[in-house]
Amino acid sequence: MNTHSTPPAALMLQASAAEAHLILQGIVRMAAEPIVVMDEQLKILLINPAAEKMFACTQERAMAEGIDCFMPEELREALRRHIADAVDGAYKGSATGSHSEIAGVREDGESFSVEVSVTRLAAGGAPVYAVIFSDVTARRQDEARLNLLVNFDPLTSLPNRALFHQRLQRALARAQRYNKTPAVLFIDLDRFKNINDSLGHAAGDVMLKAVAAQLAGCLREVDTLARLGGDEFAVLVEEIADTRLVAAVARKLHNVVAEPILVDDQEYRVTASIGVSTYPADGRDAATLIRNAEAAMVRAKEQGRDNTRFPEARTT
C-alpha cells in the first residue's frame, strides 16, 4: 500500500478541467498568502480570503471589477501593463515566475507597497496565473527610518557627515566628467560653547535648529547643507561658474547666521567662521576638500572669527 500523498500539482495534471479548478480553488483559499488567480486576459478567476483582507475587496467585487480595484486610479493602466508583462514572462518559461514591487490601494484609498510574484500554473490544460501579494509597507517604513538614522542628523534633519561625503563624491565625479567646479564651505559657529554653558543645551539646540533653517533658506535646491556634528555645518555648492563667486556665497551665509534668533522670548545673535575649498585647486577627492576647508575655517577663527578664509597652500 502506497502511503505517500500525491502532490497538488500532480493531482491537477491527472484531473479533469473541472476537478483541477476545484483543486486549485481549494489550494488558493487555504493559502496564508494573498493570492489572486487570473487568466491570460487578466480576468480574475479566484481571490482568496487573505487577498480580500489585504485589499478590503470581496471576491464578488474583484471578479466584477478586475484588477482595477487593487490600485489607485492614476496607476491602473501602468499596473495593468506590468501584470500583463509579468504574465507574458511567466508564459515564456520562467520556472519561478516574475517578481516586482508595485503600489496597491485599499478600499479607503490608502496606498501601500506590495511585492508581487506571478507564476504560471496548469489547470486542466488551460494556463492560469497565480499572483501572490506581500504587503511590504512595514519593511519600507523600517528602511526609511534606518535611512534617516544612518544619513540624517536627528536634531536638524539635515544630511549628516556620511551623506555629505557621499554627495560630495558624486559631485566630484560629475565635475571630472563635465569640467565643473564644486566648492565646499566648512562653517563653525563662534563661541557656541558659551551659549550652551550659559543658556543650557536645550536652548543651544533651539539655536542650532534656527541656524540650520537660516542657512538652508539662502541656498539653492541643488546645493547640500549638512550638519557635521556639534556646531559645525558644511555646504556643497555643486557648480561655481567663477571661483570668486564662492566668496559671495560665504557672505550670504555670514549674513543669515547673524540674524537674531529668539530663545525663550529673548533675542540672541551668533557669528560663524567659514573655510572654503574648491575643486580642483584645493583637492581632487572628497576627504582632501573637506580637510582643507576645515583647516581654512580654523585660520578664520585664529584671525578674529566671523570671517572667511581659503586654504593657504593649495593641493593639486
How far apart CA 303 and CA 312 sit, in angstroms, is 13
How far apart CA 196 and CA 186 sit, in angstroms, is 21
Written as one letter, the residue type at 58 is T
How far apart CA 83 and CA 68 sit, in angstroms, is 12
Provide the grid cell at 275: 573655510
97 and 115 Cβ atoms separated by less than 8 Å: no
How far apart CA 210 and CA 262 sit, in angstroms, is 9
The active-site residue out of 188, 190, 223, 231 is: 231
Output DSSP code: residue 70. G
3-class state of residue 233 by DSSP: strand
209 and 156 Cβ atoms separated by less than 8 Å: yes
297 and 230 Cβ atoms separated by less than 8 Å: no
Provide the grid cell at 178: 563635465
Reference 280, options 249, 245, 315, 311; nearest CA is 315
The answer to whether residue 231 is catalytic is yes
Active site residues: 231
